[in-house]
Structure 1
Amino acid sequence: MSATRRESAPLHVAGPSPRAFERPLPWTESIWSHLHAARASGRLAQGLLIFGPNGLGKRVLARALAQSLLCPTPNVQGLACGRCADCRLLAAGSHPDLIAVGPDPESKSGEIPIDAVRQFAERESLTPSRAPYKVALIDPADRLNQAAANALLKTLEEPTEHSLLCLIAERIGRLPATIRSRCLLIQVPIPDEAAALSWLASREPRPDWPLRLRLAHGAPLRALADSADDTWMEQRVQCLRDFLEIARGRADPVAVVGRWNEIDTGRILDWLAGVMVDLLRLGVCATPPRLDHPDRRDELLALAQGLDLAAGHRFLKRILEARALGERNLNQQLLLESLAIDWARITSRHH
């Protein structure tokens, strides 16, 4: 079973890959306006920490800002012109004043090591080569190891003039408080559901966007990326059916987990967490305003009516803990078997 699929991250220390010019997504336009105004008035912080769940457009926002800062002739909205010599270098992925810092692609840990930060610091100490700024995108910043975080702190404390350090993270709690305190925190919000559905429909008309957006926890880019392959939707049906069959006493927990070998473990834990949240919602209100799995409402309502809510809360906590442990490359099959057996015990009085 594979680890949870993540948004793509940059290489160890490198120039940027070739990319199209970015525009901030509709739900980040107010953030963009504030950044543009701060830049225009000379008040743009030199350390930014852009954070929020996967699939909300953090990286789009960060890249648009980097492109804007490196373009000498941005338009009235502050976006890169896309035509000048600097923009041509950006488009080719070879602009000398844009640095990408990320995990070593040869490492299994997925961490950003101290050597990456040291290499970056050496380049960051130089003045801009040709653009108004030198910009570093550190992504994902929440994967800095302790030594790398300490090394980065020194650069954040004394940044060179006309430089910008932009950290991108999904779990800012993993970053030391000393780093967070030296950055301007920019939280990318989950958009209004109607606005997100409108944006998704503009990209590709399909009738199941409402369900897909719920399964993506309201993150439009995640929903859009997931729509490229429907295999996981079929796997979800199997996983949820098996999970409910365990609760009904009709399936062996260990045998069920054996059938999940081809399913991404991160997705399984995500679906199970969503199911438990829905059960807890339905346990206190038969018509909650929101469900993560609205297409399974009737089945979940029937199960919720006899569920011990306190036990359900404890089990949800176990799932969330298992999701965190899953990133540490533990034996994921044993992890899932333990959860499935615990679920059978919790629901044994239903049958």
Structure 2
Amino acid sequence: MSPTRAESASSKSATPSPRPFEIPLPWTESIWSRLQASRAADRLAHGLLISGPNGVGKRALARALAQSLLCQTPNAQGLACGHCADCHLLAAGSHPDLIEVGPDPESKSGEIPIDAVRLFAGRESLTPSRAPWKVALIDPADRLNQAAANALLKTLEEPTGHSILCLIGERIGRLPATIRSRCLLIPVPIPNEAQALSWLESCEPREDWPLRLRLAHGAPLRALTESADDTWLEQRGQCLHGFMEIARGRGDPITVAGRWNEIGAGRILDWLAGFMGDLLRLSVCAAPPRLDHPDRRDELAALAQRLDPAVGHRFLKHLLEARALSESNLNQHLLLESLAIDWSRIGQSARTGTGGSSR
């Protein structure tokens, strides 16, 4: 069992035991302590905005808080007991005072529509029915469409006495400033590398955690999740091979983009941005203190010597812009083809020494 969860005691009765409950991860313990202190002082904000990169544990923190608020007998640290009637309802996913709001699974837009907000935004639906609090988890909050955000704003402006609206997101800049200003911002940081590696090792001993953590941009939960995917490192190798073959003039960018599309634009764009960042680091320093792909240093270093840094920086900017658009309704295949063709032009310029441009 992952150390992100606390075991609930087994029950000898016919009543099923609740599922394991979330506990604060080591790097979120100080945040948890502050939240519990605010709760004890009856100063817990009605609107919380928990933010952070993918894989740092912000959702685990939000769920632990919800469980704590709805539990009848939380322990001294504020953690849900896992045994009371409310905890059993939470475990079964049927607690009437926990509302979970997310994108419409039937919608291609991936947005949270206004109807989803209206379902819980009425004063009656935000009144606790059995627990001391009514808790709404809105995740990912940055997917609220404009109408839904406006409806949520009204609820934030006039909260009921014992309701907590917990917004969770990675791109909170997409939220209207009016919503952000009415919430207590709770950033969940990336832990230091030593702490993250210690936690990962406690989950599952393995020798390649340093590499996997680096590839996950320092986010431990992301590293742990991706470690279960046996194809992940192989796909990264395929991505880099295509990237290098295009730069050497040996790979057709359209063909390579087609292979990339089969893997998925989200992963590919993340890896391409990492490769490009490493190339730029290696172009100015033979032994940079940090690389996103340290196991591919030698392969990238040879190309870095031929790269025009100004052109490389422009291409990296395009990659980051494309990565931000990868969740939109844009044609992902065409997006990858455009980038592959652009990279082909840069590679040709590097081989001929003619400079070059990135669009």
Q: TM-score range by the shorter chain?
A: over 0.9
CA offset at residue 281 of structure 1? 1.2
Q: What residue in structure 2 maps to residue 220 of structure 1?
A: 220
Question: What CA distance in whole angstroms lies between the structure 2 residues aligned with 1:120 and 1:82?
Answer: 26
Letter in 1 for 2:73: T
Question: What CA distance in whole angstroms lies between the structure 2 residues aligned with 1:124 and 1:250?
Answer: 65
Q: What residue in structure 1 maps to residue 144 of structure 2?
A: 144
Relative contact order (alpha carbons < 8 A, sep ≥ 6): 1 or 2 greater? Answer: 1
CA offset at residue 190 of structure 1? 0.2
Q: Deviations over 1:220-244 (max 9, x none)?
A: 1111111111112111101101101
CA offset at residue 19 of structure 1? 4.8
Question: What CA distance in whole angstroms lies between the structure 1 residues aligned with 2:120 and 2:19?
Answer: 21
Q: What residue in structure 1 maps to residue 7 of structure 2?
A: none
Which aligned pairs between 1:79-90 and structure 2 lie closer than 5 A?
79-90=79-90
CA offset at residue 261 of structure 1? 3.8
Question: What CA distance in whole angstroms lies between the structure 1 residues aligned with 2:106 and 2:262?
Answer: 25
CA offset at residue 337 of structure 1? 1.3
Closer/same/farther in 2, CA of residues 126 and 258 from structure 1, 3 Å limit: closer
Letter in 2 for 1:130: R
Whether the aligned pair in 2 keeps the contact of 1:248 and 1:350 (CA below 8 Å) is: no
Matched length: 334
Structure 2 residue matching 1:260: 3-state secondary structure: helix
Q: What residue in structure 1 maps to residue 254 of structure 2?
A: 254
Whether the aligned pair in 2 keeps the contact of 1:124 and 1:160 (CA below 8 Å) is: no
Q: Deviations over 1:160-207 (max 9, x none)?
A: 001111000010000000000000000000011111111111111111
Q: What residue in structure 2 maps to residue 9 of structure 1?
A: none
Question: What CA distance in whole angstroms lies between the structure 2 residues aligned with 1:154 and 1:79?
Answer: 31
Question: What CA distance in whole angstroms lies between the structure 2 residues aligned with 1:325 and 1:22?
Answer: 32
1:32 pairs with 2:43: no
Whether the aligned pair in 1 keeps the contact of 2:99 and 2:137 (CA below 8 Å) is: yes
Whether the aligned pair in 1 keeps the contact of 2:109 and 2:329 (CA below 8 Å) is: no
Q: What residue in structure 2 maps to residue 12 of structure 1?
A: none
Quick check: 326-335 or 221-230, which moved more?
326-335
Letter in 2 for 1:62: A
Letter in 2 for 1:306: R
Q: Deviations over 1:104-163 (max 9, x none)?
A: 111111100000101111266442111111111011100000000000000001100011
TM-score (norm 1): 0.92
Whether the aligned pair in 1 keeps the contact of 2:261 and 2:336 (CA below 8 Å) is: no
Question: What CA distance in whole angstroms lies between the structure 1 residues aligned with 2:261 and 2:178?
Answer: 41
Which aligned pairs between 1:85-124 and structure 2 lie closer than 5 A?
85-122=85-122
CA offset at residue 325 of structure 1? 2.4
Q: What residue in structure 1 maps to residue 42 of structure 2?
A: 42
Whether the aligned pair in 2 keeps the contact of 1:278 and 1:292 (CA below 8 Å) is: yes
Q: What residue in structure 2 maps to residue 66 of structure 1?
A: 66
Structure 2 residue matching 1:262: 3-state secondary structure: helix
Question: What CA distance in whole angstroms lies between the structure 2 residues aligned with 1:157 and 1:328?
Answer: 30
Question: What CA distance in whole angstroms lies between the structure 1 residues aligned with 2:325 and 2:89?
Answer: 41
Whether the aligned pair in 1 keeps the contact of 2:114 and 2:145 (CA below 8 Å) is: yes
Unaligned runs of 5+ in 1: 1-17
Which aligned pairs between 1:169-318 and structure 2 lie closer than 5 A?
169-318=169-318
Runs (4+) of structure 1 exceeding 3 A deviation are 123-126
Question: What CA distance in whole angstroms lies between the structure 2 residues aligned with 1:219 and 1:75?
Answer: 29
Whether the aligned pair in 2 keeps the contact of 1:124 and 1:134 (CA below 8 Å) is: no
Quick check: 161-170 or 334-343, which moved more?
334-343
Question: What CA distance in whole angstroms lies between the structure 2 residues aligned with 1:212 and 1:126?
Answer: 42
Q: Percent same amino acid among aligned pairs?
A: 82
Root mean square deviation, CA, Å: 1.3
CA offset at residue 347 of structure 1? 2.1
Question: What CA distance in whole angstroms lies between the structure 1 residues aligned with 2:333 and 2:63?
Answer: 38
Whether the aligned pair in 1 keeps the contact of 2:104 and 2:111 (CA below 8 Å) is: yes
Structure 1 residue matching 2:22: 3-state secondary structure: coil
Unaligned runs of 5+ in 2: 1-17, 352-359
Structure 2 residue matching 1:344: 3-state secondary structure: helix
Letter in 2 for 1:147: A
TM-score (norm 2): 0.90
Q: What residue in structure 2 maps to residue 75 of structure 1?
A: 75
Question: What CA distance in whole angstroms lies between the structure 2 residues aligned with 1:237 and 1:57?
Answer: 28
CA offset at residue 83 of structure 1? 1.2
